[in-house]
Chain A
Amino acid sequence: MQVTSERTSQRGVMNTTQQDTADKAAELLAKIAESRSRAAFSELFSHFAPKLQAYGTRQFGNEQTAMDLVQETMTNVWHKAHLFKPDRGSPSTWIFTIARNIRFDLLRKNKKRKDDISADELWPILAEQNDNLDDGYALDNDVLMQEIAHYYGQLPDAQREVVEKIYIEGKSQQEVSDSLGIPLGTVKSRTRLALKKLKELIVEHD
């Protein structure tokens, strides 16, 4: 895997200046998110606008479209700064992915098809995170253990298997994922569906 090792070494050489710049940019994004600071945004803008302009010019070979890319990308940065998550990557990578999405839309714009899909639907980097999703697995107080034991036999096989391991054998979702060889997301969704179904069964029989 030569490509991989090259990538690693490239990332390895991120120098102090780059790190400082990344920290500074992350700080500015945080200020924009917290206090809608126009000063912080202007500073970020003066750093990224020329880079985005150069990227746009290379991609489109057209100054006007390049300027559209700068404006639309930075407009998203202004409104969506709160969606930047420092633990998932550098500020410039986040901004690059926004620009990548804008580029995708600009390239398809002239085709003018009705209900054409937008890049934000395909790479939902700017969709609000639904933080409740991960909370759905704790058992609600109104679902009692013995009721689960009573009804879980009525679940579809795939869901029952997961519920058994989590709530009867006490495994974590990651352990279930590993032991059944299915993605963690699938374990989560089956758990969620199973709990929903169990609640319905319990209500039905009350």
Chain B
Amino acid sequence: MIKSHPSEAILYQYAAGDLSASMTLVVGTHIDMCPVCQQTVCDIESDLCQKHLDTVVETLTTPTAAFSGMSKATCDKMLEEIFSSEAKPSIQPEELICLEGRRFVLPRTLACNHSRIGEWTNLVGKLWRAPVNVGERGHTNLIYMEPGTQVPEHTHKGQEATLVIDGVFNDENDVYYDGDFILLDADRTHTPQTSENDCLTLATLDAPLYFTSGISRLLNPFSSLFFRV
């Protein structure tokens, strides 16, 4: 089972629409993969609805003209515009992504953003990156590690959220599998690596990486390459 989930506070912000776009994408993709968080978010949405909509005292029998702020004329005009509007085309999810002969099926939220995924580039050795352009500041990437890959030890100025889409990786703290969501605060150091399995992750970072160990310091220019939008 998935053992590493977003906190309830993050799920609440997700459901309320208060996270950044990139964090919403990562958390939403976790939720696609995680029945436990799906249920929690359903409950939170129902709560938010009670708070924001249901508590407004109106019933179905209230005549349209009776509520403040919207005259009968305003309502009629709005209804007319709604009836004559065109339906927006629906987003078509595109599930498959290919890299180096490997194919992955993207979870629904990520599949809906397939067109925002840029070209794969080989960073160094067996480490690959494709940017996900969510049109905002921040650095969101698909990261692919072939088996036996190590990302140089690094720390970050901001929070880093990582979601395992497919595969296994570990760092100093734990081993992570499909669906695991890992949030690292600023100033936490870690060294993600794969051993016999490969791993596709979705990662977002709100400030650049700083590589901390020995020779990797020389790689600092690489950090901007790694997490450039």
User: Which residues on A are within 8 Å of B, measured CB to CB?
Assistant: 3-4, 7-8, 10-11, 17-18, 21, 24-25, 38, 41-43, 45-55, 57-58, 63, 67, 70-71, 74-76, 78-80, 88-90, 92-93, 95-97, 99-101, 103-104, 108, 113-117, 119-124, 126-128, 130, 156-158, 178, 181-186, 188-190, 192-193
Distance in Å: Cβ of A180 to nearest Cβ of chain B: 9
Interface of chain A: mostly helix, strand, loop or mixed: helix
Q: Are B70 and A50 in contact (CB under 8 A)?
A: yes
> For chains A and B in complex, what number of residue pairs have CB atoms within 8 angstroms?
206
Interface SS, B side? mixed
A22 — nearest CB in chain B belongs to which residue?
Answer: B54
Instruction: Please name the residue on chain B nearest to A70 by beta carbon.
Output: B78
A residues less than 8 Å from B124 (CB atoms): none
A46 to B105, alpha carbons, bound, how many Å? Answer: 43
Min Cβ gap A156→B in Å is 8
CB distance from A14 to the nearest CB of B (A): 9
Does residue B16 face the partner (Cβ distance < 8 Å to A)? Answer: yes
- Does the CB pair B83–A78 fall under 8 Å? yes
Contact present for B45 and A93 (CB under 8 Å):
yes
Residue of B42, B44, B52, B179 near A186 (CB, 8 A) is B179
**Contact between chains at B28 and A51 (CB < 8 Å):** no
**Given A114-B135, A115-B133, A116-B135, A54 contacting B56 (CB threshold 8 A):** yes
A124 touches B112 (CB 8 A): yes
B58 engages A182 (CB within 8 Å): no
The reply to whether A48 and B133 contact each other, CB–CB distance below 8 Å, is: no
